[in-house]
Structure 1
Amino acid sequence: MLVTGTDVRDALVRLIRVGSLIAVLGAIHVLTLLLDWASLLNDNVVVRGIQGFVLSWSFTLSILAGLLAGGAGVLASLSSNVKVLRFTVPALALGGAALAILSPLYVILHQLPSLEVQFKPEVGAIAALFTGVAMAGGGFISAVIGFVALRPSPSPSQVPIMAYTPSQVPAVEYETGTVTSYEEPSLSREEEVFEELLRQEESAVEVRDSQAERAAVGPQAVQPPRAQAASMECAICGDQIPASALKTCGSCGAPMHRECVETWRDIGGRCPNCGAPLG
């Protein structure tokens, strides 16, 4: 499936939203350090609560998890390098999620039992574990967006070349006396595209001839080239192109936004119309 400029733009928007959600979850995870992660018991009676920041391991792991989650959110919001976003945002998010999950599990399953005291988990440890799992989900979603929606364009050998090649469908003969008839082969997809390009080229020639005739008769209100360019549609995103933002393919002349070309260059750098490298 060919990735279009609109698909890339939508994927980047979704990645920014997921990155922001991961950063918020990281901040919430750090705030759980202020809650009681466990309560010490004496004959099943609560003696005192232990907050998360009091325990060295939980404090260190949770702070690192929050920093990694915040880094994923900042990078997703500020960076425009698609290649960096595809790998870095999921890596930071999943790394932060791993530390966020490890922090309460280590305290509850190892650190407190090693002290040989009676205790019971409290809401702070449960909230920390929940935010870690949610961060892992966000990291997985960002990985899907990066490796599916923002995958690079196909290599030149995989880009279909729109060239006219007569279909080699064998003719079907119908013998009726001395008359032999042949069934006309149906047009393939490549031939339909080629015929459409020919019609567009003929229409462009007719427009140029009409403008030349009007210029020969006398000065007319002919639309300037820059105004014509302003009504063109971008070959990447399909939106109208202002004259100040126009950029064309050096091979086939397809019009595109300058911003679309910059983003498109990061995921393959080839013209969506002819497959030629974009300069």
Structure 2
Amino acid sequence: MIINPTRSQKIENGQVFFKGFRGACFYKVEHLVLIGMVVSERRLLVRFFQIGSVLALAGSIHVLTLLLPWYTVRADNVSTSVLSGYLLPETLSLSVAGGVLAGLSLLATSFSQRPMSVRTVLVVFSLIGGVLAMVSPLYLGFVRVPALNVSGEPGIGFFVALFSAIVILALGGVALLTRPRVVEIPYQSYGGVSGATVSSTQPMETTSFEVVGEVEEGVVCPICYTSVEAENAVRCSSCGVIFHSGCLDAYVNINGTCPNCGRAVV
């Protein structure tokens, strides 16, 4: 699409700004795509902040499971011992590292306004932290306990630690699958004429305005929605709609077109 500026448009740094009666919207022309990423990026940052918050919560829960009994071991038929996660340096280091990495992902959502940067940090921290958190209870159950030549059974801390690690990994997958969507923000001019359809391939039709001698009772200006009197009334030569002269001058100075039919004013 080729968009050339008119009196109703302005180009700055590759962006085309359309100013209209109902407000102002902008379109960024890049790779032949109209991109309106303002709303989409904000929603994406909110989504990543929510994911980071749950990641921090899951990481905190995983670290707290170190205080719970992870394994109950029996050296014989009489004596039993309870192993908590913090008693072994390996499980303590792995769980703390995994929980801290999951918690740090929340900071990334607070200090960066770039969705792709936040997404990358979330994915990397959550996946690495989730793997470390997952290895910690598995290392105890399948490496250290068998090495002691004792029998035993996992405790509640083992399963909570394992579940929290799975949650961290799952949230990393959610962040990985969350991608920005291209949102087109249409420019609406009065009468439903879209400003995004302006093209240089076809010349724009022109119109002019003339002073109205008499105005029927009940005629309303479509710009300010108040009644029009004969002393300040003008009519579009193309569509025949009557406006206040002051309202029309202000609109034409900004847009350069008729508020109703969209033709260029000459």
Residue in structure 2 matched with residue 81 of structure 1 by the alignment: 114
- C-alpha separation between the residues in 2 aligned to 1:6 and 1:83? 15
Instruction: Name the structure 2 match of 1:105.
Output: 138
Q: 1:223 to 1:79 in 2, by over 3 A?
A: farther
> How do 1:57-72 residues align onto structure 2 when only pairs under 5 Å count?
57-72=90-105
Matched, 1:6 2:39: yes
Q: Write the distance in 2 (CA, Å) between the matches of 1:16 and 1:200.
A: 47
What is the 5 A alignment of 1:1-279? 4-44=37-77, 47-145=80-178, 148-149=179-180, 193-194=197-198
Deviation at 1:199, TM superposition (A): 11
Structure 1 residue 202 displacement after superposition:
6.4
Q: Deviations along 1:22-58, whole A, 9 cap, x unmatched?
A: 0100000000000001112144556221111001111
Distance 2:101 2:143 in 1: 24
Q: Distance in 2 between matches of 1:53 and 1:74?
A: 26
State the identity as a percent. 28
For residues 115-137 of structure 1, give each alpha carbon's deviation from its aligned partner in whole angstroms, at most 9, with x where no partner exists.
11222111111110000000001
Q: Deviations along 1:62-99, whole A, 9 cap, x unmatched? A: 00001100111111233212332131111001110000
Distance 1:114 1:5, change over 3 A: same
Residues 41 and 115, structure 2, Cα contact 8 Å, conserved in 1: no
Say if 1:75 and 1:201 are closer, same or farther in 2 by CA, change over 3 A. farther
In structure 1, stretches of 5+ residues that fail to align are 154-191, 207-213, 230-279
Q: Which residue of 2 aligns with 1:274?
A: none
Q: Check 1:45–1:134 CA distance in 2 against 1; reply closer, same or farther (3 A cut).
A: farther
Q: Indicate how the Cα distance of structure 1 residues 201 and 104 shifts in structure 2: closer, same or farther if over 3 A, else same.
A: farther
**Structure with greater proportional strand content:** 2
Higher relative helix content: 1
Deviation of 1:222 (Å) = 8.8
Q: CA deviation at 1:10?
A: 1.3
Q: Distance in 2 between matches of 1:198 and 1:123?
A: 74
Contact between 2:104 and 2:125, CA under 8 Å: does it hold in 1?
yes
* SS in structure 2 at match of 1:149: coil
Secondary structure of 2:149's aligned partner? coil
